[in-house]
Structure 1
Amino acid sequence: MSAPATVEELVRQRLSAALGGWRGVVDSAVAPLAFLVGWLTTRDLLVSVGASIAVMLVALVVRVVRRETLQFAVGGILVTAVAALVASRTGRAQDVFLPGILLNLALSVVFVVSMVTRWPVVGFLVGAVTEEPTAWRRDRGIVSLCQKLTALLLAGYLVRVAVQLPLYLAGNTTALAVTKLALGWPLLLLGVVVAGVMLLKGRTPLQAPHAAAAEE
C-alpha cells in the first residue's frame, strides 16, 4: 500500500484497518437478525438468544477456517453472551437489549467529552494502527477531520438511544429487535457512506510533524 499523501487518505486507510472492513459489518448484523427471526417465529427468549449465539459461533468458525482476525467475531459473541445473561436473570425478553442501549449511552458521553477536549475518539482509531498512537494530534488537519468523523459516529449512538430507550421502557421486544437490526449495520453503512464522501472530497495535505510543532 502506497504512503498516504493527504489527511483524508491516511484516515481512510487507518479506519478501514481499525473497523474490520465489510466482514466486521456482517459480523455485527448476524446476531440481531437471528434474534429477530427466532423471536418472531417462537416468542421464546431462550430460543431467540440461542439462535444469536449459534450464528456468532458459526461466524467465528468461518474466520478460523479462513485464518482471519477473530477480534470482531469474539467481540460479538461476548456482547451477545452478556445480553443473554442479563435477560436470563430477569426473565424479561426486552432486557436482551439493555446492555446495548447502555453501551450506546456510555459511548455517547465518551465521544462528547473527547470532542470537547479536542482529543476525538476517531483519532485514537487512527493512532491504534500506527507506531505512534498520538502522532495524529500534531497535525491540525487530522484533528479537524477526526472531530467531524467523531461527530458523525456520535450521531448514530444518540439516534439508537433516542429510539430504543422508549421502546425498552415500554417493554416492546419486537420493536426493539427490529430497530436493533435497522439501526445496526444499515445506520453504520450510512455513516460509512457519509464519511466516505468526506474522505474522498477532501484534499487536506499532510502536515509534517516539525511544521505542526513550529506553528503551535
Structure 2
Amino acid sequence: MSEHSASASESGVTAQGRTDDQHAGQDAEKTLLEQMGGISGLAYSAVPIVVFVVVSALTSLMPAIWASIGAAVLIAVIRLVRKEPLQPAISGVLGVAVCSFIAYRSGEVRGFFLLGIWTSLVYGGVFLASVVVRWPLVGVAWSLLNSLGFSWRKHRRAMLGYDLATLAWTVVFAAKYVVQQWLYDSDQTGWLAFARIAMGYPLTGLALVVTIWAVRRAAKVAEEVAAEEEAAAARSGPAAG
C-alpha cells in the first residue's frame, strides 16, 4: 500500500468514524425519546395525574379514578387517530388503571401515587446493582435495542461513560423515591402530584443528556479502536507479503 493510499484510508476511517459518532448521538436521542413516546408522550403522561388530583379535590376518590382512566383512554384514542406510536399510550392506560386500582383498594387518594413511588425504588436499585456487577444497564439496553453487541465492556472509557449514565438514572429514581415517599407519608397529595410531574421532566432530561453523552463516548472509543486495527492491518500487510 502506498503512503498516499494509507493516508487516504486512515482519513476515510476517521471521517466515517465521525459520521458514525454523530449518528450514534442522534440515534440515541431519537430512540430514547421514542421509547418514552416522544415529546408529546411526556406531556400526555401528566394529563391523567392532573385530572385525578383536580377531580378528587372537587369531588371524591371514585369520580377521580374514572376521570383519570377516561383521560388516559382518550389520549390513547387521540394517538391512534393521529397515527402516533401506540405502545406508550397503551402503557399509560395500564399504568393509570393499576394506580387507580391501588387507590381504590387503599381507599385513599394518595394511594394513586404508590405505584410510581415503588417503581422508582425498584428501578433505582436495579440500575445501581447493574453498575456494581459491571453490566451498566444503560449500555446493555442501548446495545440490545440496536443489536450492537457488548464489545464496549472491554474498553475502560466506554465502560466509564455507561457507568456514569447508569448512575445518573440511579440518582433520578432515588430522588423521586425519597421526595415522593416523604410527601406520601406527610399526606400531601397535591404536592405529591406536583412533585411527580415537576421532577419528571427536568431530572429525566438531565439523565437523557448524560445517556446521549455516554453513547457518543462509546461510539468514539469504537471508532478509535477500528482506526487502530485498520492501521495495524495496513502496517502488517506489506510485511506479511
Same fold? TM cut 0.5: yes
In structure 2, what is the equivalent of residue 126 of structure 1? Answer: 142
8 A Cα contact 2:49 2:68, kept in partner: yes
8 A Cα contact 2:152 2:218, kept in partner: no
- Partner SS, residue 32 of structure 1: helix
In structure 2, what is the equivalent of residue 45 of structure 1? Answer: 61
Instruction: Give the TM-score, by structure 1 length.
Output: 0.80
Q: Deviations over 1:103-137 (max 9, x none)?
A: 00000100100111221111133123313454554
The structure with the larger Rg is: 2
Q: How many residues align?
A: 209
8 A Cα contact 1:18 1:126, kept in partner: no
In structure 2, what is the equivalent of residue 83 of structure 1? Answer: 99
Provide closer, same or farther for how the CA distance between residues 139 and 200 of structure 1 changes in structure 2, counting only shifts above 3 A.
closer
How far 1:157 moved relative to its partner? 0.7
Residue 103 (structure 2) pairs with residue 95 (structure 1):
no
8 A Cα contact 2:110 2:184, kept in partner: yes
CA distance in 1, matches of 2:223, 2:212: 25
CA distance in 2, matches of 1:145, 1:19: 20
Residue 125 (structure 2) pairs with residue 104 (structure 1):
no
Unpaired stretches in structure 2, ≥5 consecutive residues: 1-15, 230-241
8 A Cα contact 1:56 1:77, kept in partner: yes
Percent identity of paired positions between Structure 1 and Structure 2: 28
Provide closer, same or farther for how the CA distance between residues 200 and 75 of structure 1 changes in structure 2, counting only shifts above 3 A.
closer
**Residue number among 31, 34, 59 corresponding to 2:51 in the alignment:** 34
Unpaired stretches in structure 1, ≥5 consecutive residues: none
CA RMSD across the alignment: 3.2
In structure 1, what is the equivalent of residue 88 of structure 2? Answer: 72
Instruction: Give the TM-score, by structure 2 length.
Output: 0.73
CA distance in 2, matches of 1:136, 1:174: 45
**Residue number among 102, 105, 114 corresponding to 2:130 in the alignment:** 114
How far 1:89 moved relative to its partner? 1.2
Residue 157 (structure 2) pairs with residue 157 (structure 1):
no
Higher mean alpha-carbon deviation, 160-169 vs 12-21, is at 12-21
In structure 1, what is the equivalent of residue 20 of structure 2? Answer: 5
Residue 28 (structure 2) pairs with residue 14 (structure 1):
yes
State the one-letter code of the partner of 2:20.
A
